[in-house]
Structure 1
Amino acid sequence: MLARLKWRGAVASFFAAAAVAMLLTPAKAQAPSGQPVTIGFSMALTGPLAANGKQALLGMKIWEEEINAKGGLLGRPVKLVYYDDQSNPSTVPGIYTKLIDVDKVDLVLGPYATAQAAPAMPVIMQKGKVFIILFGLDVNHEFNYPKFFAMIPTGPDTKPSFTDGFFEVAAAQNPKPQTVALVAADQEFSRNACDGARDNAKKTNIKVIYDKTYPPSTADFTPIVRAIQAANPDIVTICSYPLDSVGMVKAVNELNYRPKMIGGAMVGLQATVFKRQLGPLLNGWVNYETWVPAKALTFDGTEAFLKQYQARAGAEGVDPLGYYLGTWGYAYI
């Protein structure tokens, strides 16, 4: 069963803001007219990140429709201008250059995911644009760009946040685990999350005895799992992107590897498509989630949005739950 990290304050703040915005917008408004306010961004609609990117986009499209039905912005209609970045970071700079220089959008928003947001930063900084991104982990650490904002439920201590719950659960075990293996994809999100895992290992006094990265193009995870198994750690923390996460789960099960705990910061396992694909193979894994069905996290408008989202998800080929990014896409824009 997947363990769930409950970033209640962050989630509550964003849903509350979304709910308040809905309440403050007049129910009946004059139809917007004139030149639309254009909002541009790239989104992963194909490739490994598409399961999550499609969720976010549907949430954003619902916002676009609702805001136009209520009069638009400044009396003008809103129009989303977006391109598929194919889950490929190399496409991102060209997309944002086109959005700003050719499409001349009024506002730019970030793509989904750390690996996509980071390559957009030089273009955004050169153009001097305000930039709000969706679920990018510590993207601005090296750039230190003052017009940057991130929509992510991690709180101020960003890097350790994705594995904080994992190590908290590990430290509470009796007997307490003494050693940990860290493995991460060699790209922005996974490296940043693994930096945080090292901090959490130190904080909980669990010794790191294996600490390696693998190329993002890796397809066979059996050698990696065998190497970890040979190191014989008590627990294993994995920082991965969707296809890596699936590959790791399958390799661990095929080798019948059973450390005391395994999981951590594995992106993708929150999506229904991967949960269905892996099914019982996920039993025993401890991983982060960003939403739990708690009353404290439900506000006016939350349930109504999810009903609308879920009614459309099937027809648009989108994850029917939407808890991971559909809600965030709506609140983020």
Structure 2
Amino acid sequence: MLHLNLRRRFLIITIFLLSSLGMSCQVIAQNKPPLRVGFSMALTGPLAANGKAALLSMEIWREDTNKKGGVIGRQVEFVYYDDQSNPSLVPGLYTKLLDSDKVDVVVSPYGTNLISPAMPLIMQRNLVFLTLFGVDVNAKFNYPGYFQMMPNGKNPTVGISSGFFDAAMTAKEKPKTVAFIGGDAEFQAVTIEGAREVAKKYNLKVVYDKSYPPNTTDFTPVLRAIQATNPDIIYVASYPGETPGLVRAANEIGLKATVFGGTMIGCGFASVKKQLGPLLNGLLCFELYVPEKTVKFEGIESFLKIYQSRAEKEGVDALGFYLPPYAYAQMQILGQAIEKVGSIDNKKLIDYIHNTKFTTVVGDVKFATNGEWEVGRPLYVQYKGIKGNDIEQFRKPGPAVIISPAELKSGDLITSYQEAKNK
């Protein structure tokens, strides 16, 4: 009996000591300084709608991560400033983040024109730099610490449009001619430059290739001029403010082509979907996420459920299909890298990110040597069967059928554009 009592006492003491040790570890973890992530974001100005959506997505990641204990035992804290969509403010803001705020790591602002001005400072300090939606920014810097969150492949100027032509060339009557049109701005110019290369690969004859001024509001004359050349394919590169006007003009003049669409930024936004409704039918357009059954990225549906539940209150894009999953995935990659490296040593982080395939809410991501995605996969979808302007229909499979890439294909291309509008 005495022997049994001794064993019980020993067990009780052991449990007590282990519990105390666990509590001590929790206290130590709680006492660690926060992991401070610095960045600027467009919260006002022309890029604010996307900047606010990106910030909400990043905050969702931060909250998720902190509930699980943080990163390397440290709670994550954001330090950020409004860059007002103004590239000239970016260098000063990042200098402040690094020198005054003493943040541990930085990530980029949103968009090509805001990322580029930060690059010299980032390079000077040899920092890891995960960036959000820049088109081929690193082509002029060749910086090994640059990593881009946009799925355009190793050669982004070509990769962003190649899926459109891959899809268009599946038409029963093989297209032979192409017309190019886009705004007179850097993004559109770079995108069409790459599209020309892809068209050349398919031996397409260019019958129209012009740009329109950025302040254009009436696109009817532009599309009439294109129609006069009778192209099989009409490829458009447009900003969100231009896209609705182009689609409306196409419907007004009864535009005829085998395939009409392109890298028409804005089609992925809830506000544009709601505004255009059935006018989208027949278009072959660039998207970054649609809820088709072939898209089964780990965690994407649960992320969007949380995002959408907060979107209206935050005044951001109601669907969150375009930018938000990539902003969340950007932070997933940074967090996973710091956790695995076990520190914020920027050189080690750069090496680790280069050599690792990451699982994220936008699928597996592996970076090429230039910091772009090793394998690109921008989606090109054809809109079909859209009725009315109710945004709820876009939350389900069907209205945006994936035509390219082949591994995510959920339906076949319907041609011509006029016939596809009525399907």
Superposition TM-score tier, normalisation by shorter sequence: 0.7 to 0.9
The residue correspondences of 1:287-306 to structure 2 (distance < 5 A) are 287-294=285-292, 297-306=295-304
Unaligned runs of 5+ in 2: 1-24, 332-423
Task: For 2:164 and 2:133, locate their aligned partners in 1 and report how far apart those are by CA, in whole Å.
Answer: 19
User: Which of residues 73, 83, 86 is equivalent to 2:81?
Assistant: 83
Matching residue of 1:140? 138
Matching residue of 1:254? 252
The one-letter code matched in structure 1 to 2:142 is: N
Q: Structure 1 residue 193: deviation in Å?
A: 1.7
The alpha-carbon distance between structure 1 residues 158 and 279, as it changes in their structure 2 partners (threshold 3 A), is: same
TM-superposition CA deviations, 1:44-80 (whole Å, max 9, x none): 3344433333332211101111222222233332111
Q: Secondary structure at the match of 2:151?
A: coil
Q: Structure 1 residue 258: deviation in Å?
A: 2.9
The residue correspondences of 1:197-208 to structure 2 (distance < 5 A) are 197-208=195-206
Kindly indicate whether the alpha-carbon contact (under 8 Å) linking 1:242 and 1:266 is maintained by their aligned counterparts in 2. yes
User: Which of residues 114, 117, 130 is equivalent to 2:115?
Assistant: 117
Q: Secondary structure at the match of 2:279?
A: helix
The alpha-carbon distance between structure 1 residues 258 and 107, as it changes in their structure 2 partners (threshold 3 A), is: same
TM-superposition CA deviations, 1:12-40 (whole Å, max 9, x none): xxxxxxxxxxxxxxxx9666445332212
Unaligned runs of 5+ in 1: 1-27
TM-score normalised over the length of structure 1: 0.81
Q: Secondary structure at the match of 1:51?
A: helix
Q: Structure 1 residue 133: deviation in Å?
A: 0.6
More displaced stretch, 42-51 vs 129-138: 42-51
More displaced stretch, 147-156 vs 230-239: 230-239
Q: Greater CA radius of gyration, 1 or 2?
A: 2
Q: Structure 1 residue 223: deviation in Å?
A: 4.1
Task: For 1:193 and 1:237, locate their aligned partners in 2 and report how far apart those are by CA, in whole Å.
Answer: 10
Higher relative contact order (CA 8 A, sep 6+): 1
The residue correspondences of 1:1-333 to structure 2 (distance < 5 A) are 32-294=30-292, 297-333=295-331
Q: Structure 1 residue 225: deviation in Å?
A: 2.9
Q: Secondary structure at the match of 1:242?
A: coil
Task: For 2:316 and 2:164, locate their aligned partners in 1 and report how far apart those are by CA, in whole Å.
Answer: 29
Task: For 1:79 and 1:289, locate their aligned partners in 2 and report how far apart those are by CA, in whole Å.
Answer: 31
The alpha-carbon distance between structure 1 residues 194 and 321, as it changes in their structure 2 partners (threshold 3 A), is: same
More displaced stretch, 135-144 vs 267-276: 135-144
The count of aligned residue pairs is: 306
Kindly indicate whether the alpha-carbon contact (under 8 Å) linking 1:51 and 1:271 is maintained by their aligned counterparts in 2. no
Q: Structure 1 residue 299: deviation in Å?
A: 4.9
Kindly indicate whether the alpha-carbon contact (under 8 Å) linking 1:35 and 1:76 is maintained by their aligned counterparts in 2. yes
Identity %: 54
The one-letter code matched in structure 1 to 2:260 is: I
What is the root-mean-square deviation in Å for CA atoms of aligned residues?
A: 2.6
TM-superposition CA deviations, 1:94-132 (whole Å, max 9, x none): 433333333332211112222332233233234432211
Task: For 1:299 and 1:259, locate their aligned partners in 2 and report how far apart those are by CA, in whole Å.
Answer: 34
TM-score normalised over the length of structure 2: 0.65
Kindly indicate whether the alpha-carbon contact (under 8 Å) linking 1:48 and 1:243 is maintained by their aligned counterparts in 2. no
